[in-house]
Chain A
C-alpha cells in the first residue's frame, strides 16, 4: 500500500507542479511541491524512508527535466535523510520552526546544485540566481511545506496509510 501510495503521489507531483503551478512561476512564486512533500515524508516517516523518497522524487525530476540523471536524486535524497533525522529529534512535529528548517533545506539544495554546475560548467551568475530564483522559491516552498505538514498532521495521513497496510498484513 505504502509503495503504491508513494508511486502515485510522486507521479502526480510532477504534472501538478509543472502544469497547475506553472502560472505562479511567471511571477517567480511557484513553490517546490516535490521538496515540500519530501520534507513531510522525512519528518513523519523517518530518515531511511525520507532518503529513499528523496531519491525517487529527485530521479523523476531529473528524468522529466533536462538535468543530469541523479543530480536531484542525490540532493533530494540527502534532504529526505536530513528531514528524517530532524523528525526523530524534534518534539513538536507541527511546530512553525519547520518553516525555517524547510527553507534551509530548500536553500542548501538549490545552492549546492548551482555550485556544482558552476564548478562543472563554469561562470554561473550565482548572485542573480540567489536573489532572483533561490531566495523567493525557498520562502514560498517553506510556507507551502508547513501548510501541507499542518494538514497531514491534522488528518493523520501517514497513520491512515500505515493502518491499512497493517490491517492487510494481519
Chain B
C-alpha cells in the first residue's frame, strides 16, 4: 500500500486537487459564487488590460486620424455620443409615456427619480465555457459600485459584479448566474429572465400565460437593480409541453454584446 502511495504520490496529489475543486464547485451551487482572490487577480489583469487596450486604441486612433480629417472625426465622435444619449432618453421617454397613459387610466400618478450615468468603455471581454463577463475602464474612483445597472440606448447589458478603483467587471444578462425581473411589454405579464450563455430564458412561465415570439421583454424594476421599462430581450422561442404546467420561453438580448464598445452605468 505504502509502495503504491510512494510510487504515485504526484498523481494522488493531482487527484486530491481535482476532488477539492469538485467539492468547491458543488458548494457554490448551493451557497452562491465565492469571490476568493477576485480583487488581486482582477487588479493585475485589469492593469495589463488597460495597457494593452490603450496601446491598441492609440495605434488604431493614429491610423484613423491620419486617414480621416481630425475635425470630422472629433465632430463625429461628439455627435455619436449625443445620439447615444438622445436614444437612451427617447427610450426612457417612450416607456414613461406608455406608463403615464396606464396610470392616467387608473387615476394614479407616479414620478420616477432620474438617475445620472457614467459612460464606460469595454476594455476586455473574458469568456470561459461557463460564463462571459466584460471589464470596463472605470471603477470606484468614478463612483461605480457593485450591482449598479449597465445599459445602452438599445437596452440592458447587465450589472456590475466587482469594482476595483479603476476598473469594474460586468456580469452580462446572458451569464448563467444572472436573473432579472422582466415584464412582457405588450400585456405586462411578469417573469424572471435567467442567463443561458448565448441567450436568456424566461423562468416559471405558466402554461396559460400569454407570451408570443417577437414580444419585447422590459425590466420591471422589481429586482431593485434595473430601472423600470428598459428593453431587455426579445422572445424568440415559445414551447408548450402538455405534461408540464410551465412553458419554455427563450429570448435573445436586445443588446449585441459582441459589438458592445461603450455603455452607461446608472448611478443610484
Q: Which residues of A does B touch, CB under 8 Å?
A: 11-12, 14-20, 22, 25-28, 30, 47-48, 51-52, 55, 60-75, 77-78, 81, 109-110, 113-114, 116-117, 120-121, 123-125, 128-129, 132-134
B38 at the interface (CB under 8 A from A): yes
- Residues of A near B248 (CB, < 8 A) are 123
CB <8 Å contact, B128 and A67: yes
B127 an interface residue at 8 Å Cβ cutoff? yes
Contact assessment for A18 and B126 in the assembled complex, using a CB-CB cutoff below 8 Å: yes
Say yes or no: B44 contacts A11, CB within 8 Å: yes
Q: Is the CB of A19 within 8 A of B49?
A: yes
Which residues B152-185 have CB closer than 8 A to chain A?
161, 169, 171, 175-177
Verify B130–A65 contact, CB threshold 8 A. yes
Is B123's CB within 8 Å of the partner chain A? yes
Given contacts A15-B52, A113-B129, A132-B198, contact A70 B37 (CB under 8 A): no
Is B10 touching A63 in the complex (CB atoms < 8 A)? Answer: no
User: Which parts of B229-247 form the interface with A (CB within 8 Å)?
Assistant: none
Residues of B close to A123: CB separation below 8 A: 196, 201, 248
Given contacts A15-B124, A60-B41, 17 further A-B contacts (CB under 8 A): A18-B45, A19-B48, A19-B125, A48-B11, A61-B128, A63-B42, A64-B42, A66-B133, A67-B33, A69-B25, A70-B25, A72-B129, A73-B21, A77-B14, A113-B130, A121-B176, A123-B196
Q: From known contacts A19-B53, A65-B133, infer whether A124 and B29 are also in contact, taking CB-CB under 8 Å.
A: no
14 interchain pairs (CB within 8 A)? A14-B126, A15-B45, A15-B51, A18-B45, A18-B49, A25-B127, A26-B259, A63-B42, A65-B130, A68-B33, A68-B130, A70-B25, A71-B128, A113-B129
Q: Which of B56, B122, B199 contacts A125 (CB 8 A)?
A: B199
B129 & A75 in contact (Cβ 8 Å cutoff)? yes
* Nearest CB in chain B: distance from A76 CB, A: 9
Cβ-based interface call for B103 (8 A):
no
State the main secondary structure of chain A at its contact with B.
helix
**B14 touching A52 by the CB < 8 A rule?**
yes
List B contacts of A62 (CB < 8 A): 128, 130
CA distance A20 to B248 in the complex (A): 37
- Give the A-binding residues of B (Cβ under 8 A): 10-11, 13-14, 17-18, 20-22, 24-25, 28-29, 33-34, 36-38, 41-42, 44-46, 48-49, 51-53, 56, 122-133, 135, 161, 169, 171, 175-177, 194, 196-199, 201, 248, 250, 258-259
B49 touches A26 (CB 8 A): no
Contact assessment for B24 and A109 in the assembled complex, using a CB-CB cutoff below 8 Å: no
Which residues of chain A are within 8 angstroms of B127 by Cβ–Cβ distance? 25, 30, 65
**Closest partner residue, chain A, to B161 (CB atom):** A66
CB-based contact A55/B17 at 8 Å: yes
Residue of B nearest to A20 (CB): B52
Contacts of A11 in B (CB 8 A): 44-45, 48
Q: Are A26 and B258 in contact (CB under 8 A)?
A: yes
Bound-complex Cα distance A101 to B166 (A): 40
Complex CA–CA separation, A129 to B196 (angstroms): 9
Distance in angstroms from B206 CB to nearest chain A CB is 16
Q: A55-B17, A114-B197, A121-B194 are in contact. Are A65 and B124 (CB under 8 A)?
A: no
Q: How far is the CA of A129 from the CA of B132 in the complex (A)?
A: 13
Closest to B23 in A: A70
Q: Which residue of B lies closest to A80 (CB)?
A: B14
Of the listed residues B123, B176, B199, the one surrounded by the most CB atoms of chain A closer than 10 A to its CB is: B176
